Amino acid sequence: MANFVDSPNYEVYDDYYTPKSAWENINHLIPKDKVIWEACLLNSFQSKSVEYLRELGNNVVGDTALDILKDKPLQSDMIITNIPFDRKIKLPILKRLVEIDKPFIIIMNSLNMYAKYMREIFKGNFQHLQVITPDSKINYLKLNPDGTLTETKKCSFYSVYLCYKMNLNPEDLWLGK
């Protein structure tokens, strides 16, 4: 069994984008009468999440110049986003989402659910958390040096949708075909 200690040159590569299929997976769970803020677009000029969510019939706002950590949130009813993988960015964003205190659905690596920091960040709010489990891996779009996007074929981790104050039915928490 491999260990990260065995890989001293391991580096976080965070230039991946969310495919439309990831939003299609949960579109039936997104309230169509709500304004959605795609909150993690800072400098994500290749992201098509806003476009994809709109194509799926949602009312979405987003801004690639807006920093969720520093700027005032956009006027919205809820947040739907794919937060960065890098822990130095992810943890402050999770704390900020709890501070904003709006319903949200975020995509994240499933291993985060076992991390001690999740208990610390969501302490006192566990009753508001739900996890949607997809029926397969989400294969993200990798940003190439030439600016093009390539779909990954075998993502090295599983992703889940972490929900906050969504009050979803338990039968909706396991996606299937």
**pLDDT, tens only, 43-76:** 888 999 999 999 999 999 999 999 999 999 999 9
Per-residue tokens: 100 = 């904003």
Q: What is the pLDDT of residue 2?
A: 45
Q: What's the pLDDT score for residue 1?
A: 41
Q: What's residue 13's pLDDT?
A: 61
Residues of the chain where predicted confidence (pLDDT) is lower than 70: 1-14, 177
Maximum CA pair distance of the chain? 49
Other C-beta atoms closer than 10 Å to the C-beta of 72 total: 6
77, 131 contact by CB (below 8 A): no
pLDDT value of residue 12:
54
pTM: 0.91
C-alpha distances in Å from residue 36, one per residue of 23, 52, 83, 148: 13, 12, 15, 27
